[in-house]
Chain A
Amino acid sequence: MPIDKNQVKKVAKLSRISLEDNKIDSLSRDLDSILTFVEKLNELDTKEIKTLKSIADKTLEARNDIVDDGKIKNDILKNSPEKNEDFFIVPKVIE
């Protein structure tokens, strides 16, 4: 059994997703069966295999250092659920 209920809760915390108590059992079962399914890969010995770096068959292209974006404050803030004229607003962050 690759994952148990407590681990599911831990992963949910790390993912910042609240879970309804009555769904944790079925969710844990689902995740467990998915992980069991993917563990089929353990049949393969991959010690000597290098990891795939990228699926795109090219190297990284770079852009020139030119300022050609920004100055769109209204667009940036437009869809925010809570904002004022200048800022995004979030519940108080306590450091």
Chain B
Amino acid sequence: MSKEKFDYFIKTENNYWEVIIGLEVHAQVISNSKLFSGSSTKFGGKPNTQVSLVDSAFPGMLPVINKYCIEQAIKTGLGLNAKINLLSIFDRKNYFYADLPAGYQISQYKNPIVGEGSVTLDMPYGTKRVGIERLHLEQDAGKSIHDLNPDNTYIDLNRSGVALMEIVSKPDLRSPEEVNSYIKKLRTIMRYLGTCDGNMQEGSLRADVNVSVRKKGEKKFGTRCEIKNVNSIRFMEMAIESEAKRQVEILESGKKINQETRLFDTKKNETRSMRSKEEAHDYRYFPDPDLLPLQIEQSFVDNLKKNLPELPDQKKDRFIKDFKISPYEANVLVSDNNISQYFEDVIKNSDVKLAKNWIIVELFAVLNKKNIDIKNSPVSSKNLANLINLISSGEISGKIAKQVFELMVNTGDEPSKIIKEKGLKQQSDPKELEKIVKKVLDKNTDKVQQFKSGKEKLYGFFVGEIMKASSGKANPKLVNDILKKELKK
């Protein structure tokens, strides 16, 4: 770990202000059907085609809970090292809004399905534990569309009733960087578990950010503001920074912070008050009489726990221990289940050290440049393993390997085919190599003389010339042996 120290404060003339952040993440549960109805959760359907009579709150319609969504919430809870509550209760959160058909959202208020837990972050200044307050299940609302008609708002209820997990952190985060790391870690855990796809563009992961500030060293929290529905990590970071600065300015001018809900304006890079929503805020939570208390058997939880996949932290420890790679490299490799899977596929049949370097350096460069996911990598794990084995066995040099790799990226072909077609195979016939070495030395008799009289730096020059003469294909180890022998003559 780097020796860097935590240093995120809003610095003013007289003060260092600490920023206190808590997050309410809304993660869409991966499931086929909605939390309380049998309509599809698929993204991007035609308006109002994924809506049942229950989702649109027709008279006499009743909710029936989806078993898989309960499982998904428990699995996520286990992934967050959290307490699973064997008894939880669904409540109605009452408010009127055009995209909330029943006039209430079914949520969990006093008795959530998951209690306290924690997430560990790897920061440059060491690991940091962030407390989880709770996780509860609730319904998503529909969508209000304001830009299709100048006088009216259009309502699409396709999302209405899709299961969400609201994951509430403790106010343990202290910088936009930590928030970034926290969201990514949460997302990784949920992707490992298959409980949320974490796709922020499609809205599968949204967050409300609670921000307050206090002078460095103070114990008491300041008054917080909630920034609603920020839908990208970058905007989250920007919103926190600008909101913290706003609060500091207010406090330093001797005024007080109003506890309120704010909206982040991405264009102006500032938050603004959402007073319209504030007005008459009274959700009148009460247990939903259409649903009974949710009782879970301990054995059900135990069984889910037993079948939980390896989680990123465990995988990281295993990689460090088994493969002798650095914590940094391990972090990179476990940051995405598909990456770690790819890595493990490659090293099944090839050298670990070469594999991790090729993945982290060469492959990631390509994927980043082309902006593609490792799942769609043009170089399959099998082909990369083959390439690495060709290097290990000395059939091609590292340099040639890079050429081959480039062609693999462009064609998707396997390395031996490329090598054969392009004639890139390493020159390993000692007699042939001897000829080349001799030819190079004969051409440069003056330099040979200089070398022999002590100018040993010229060794590299000879190697370079020999490689050039062999179009880079000469086996470097053999070239070494032959060259040394010839120079001693």
Give the interface of A toward B (CB within 8 A). 10, 13-14, 16, 53-54, 56, 58-73, 75-77, 84, 86-95
User: Which B-chain residue is minimally distant from A15 (CB atoms)?
Assistant: B96
Q: Are A87 and B38 in contact (CB under 8 A)?
A: no
Give the interface of B toward A (CB within 8 A). 31-33, 37-40, 46-56, 64-70, 89, 96, 98, 144-146, 148-157, 263, 274, 276, 280, 282, 284, 287, 289, 291-295
Interface residues of B, dominant DSSP: loop
Number of A-B contacts (CB under 8 A): 135
Q: Are A93 and B295 in contact (CB under 8 A)?
A: no
Q: Are B49 and A73 in contact (CB under 8 A)?
A: yes
With a cutoff of 8 Å between Cβ atoms, the chain B residues found around residue A72 in the complex are 51-53
With A62-B66, A65-B31 known as contacts, the answer to whether A90 contacts B155 (CB < 8 A) is yes
With A60-B65, A91-B153 known as contacts, the answer to whether A70 contacts B280 (CB < 8 A) is no
Q: Are B54 and A69 in contact (CB under 8 A)?
A: yes
A53-B89, A65-B68, A92-B146 are known; give 7 further A-B pairs, CB within 8 A. Answer: A54-B287, A66-B38, A68-B33, A70-B40, A73-B48, A76-B157, A95-B274
Q: How far, in whole Å, are A73 and B70 apart by their CA atoms in the complex? A: 28
- Taking a contact as CB atoms closer than 8 A, the residue among A56, A64, A76 that contacts B51 in the complex is A76
Q: How far, in whole Å, are A94 and B148 apart by their CA atoms in the complex? A: 14
Q: Are A86 and B65 in contact (CB under 8 A)?
A: no
Q: How far, in whole Å, are A90 and B96 apart by their CA atoms in the complex? A: 13
With A16-B96, A60-B292, A69-B39 known as contacts, the answer to whether A88 contacts B155 (CB < 8 A) is yes
With a cutoff of 8 Å between Cβ atoms, the chain B residues found around residue A69 in the complex are 33, 37-39, 52-54
Q: How far, in whole Å, are A84 and B153 apart by their CA atoms in the complex? A: 12
With a cutoff of 8 Å between Cβ atoms, the chain A residues found around residue B49 in the complex are 70-71, 73
Q: Are A59 and B295 in contact (CB under 8 A)?
A: yes
User: Which A-chain residue is minimally distant from B45 (CB atoms)?
Assistant: A70
- Taking a contact as CB atoms closer than 8 A, the residue among B32, B50, B98, B287 that contacts A65 in the complex is B32
User: Which A-chain residue is minimally distant from B144 (CB atoms)?
Assistant: A93
User: Which 5 A-B residue pairs are closest in the complex by CB-CB distance?
Assistant: A70-B39, A65-B68, A69-B38, A62-B67, A87-B154
Q: Are A70 and B51 in contact (CB under 8 A)?
A: yes
User: Which A-chain residue is minimally distant from B103 (CB atoms)?
Assistant: A16
A45 to chain B, nearest CB (A): 22
A10 to chain B, nearest CB (A): 8
Q: How far, in whole Å, are A43 and B148 apart by their CA atoms in the complex? A: 57
With A73-B48, A90-B155 known as contacts, the answer to whether A65 contacts B39 (CB < 8 A) is no
Q: Are A54 and B293 in contact (CB under 8 A)?
A: yes
Q: Are A60 and B155 in contact (CB under 8 A)?
A: no
Q: How far, in whole Å, are A28 and B327 apart by their CA atoms in the complex? A: 69
6 contacting pairs across A/B (C-beta < 8 A): A65-B33, A70-B38, A87-B145, A88-B98, A88-B154, A91-B151
With a cutoff of 8 Å between Cβ atoms, the chain B residues found around residue A62 in the complex are 64-67, 70
Q: Are B151 and A92 in contact (CB under 8 A)?
A: yes
With a cutoff of 8 Å between Cβ atoms, the chain B residues found around residue A59 in the complex are 292-295
With a cutoff of 8 Å between Cβ atoms, the chain A residues found around residue B31 in the complex are 65
With a cutoff of 8 Å between Cβ atoms, the chain B residues found around residue A73 in the complex are 46-49, 51
With a cutoff of 8 Å between Cβ atoms, the chain B residues found around residue A63 in the complex are 38, 64-67
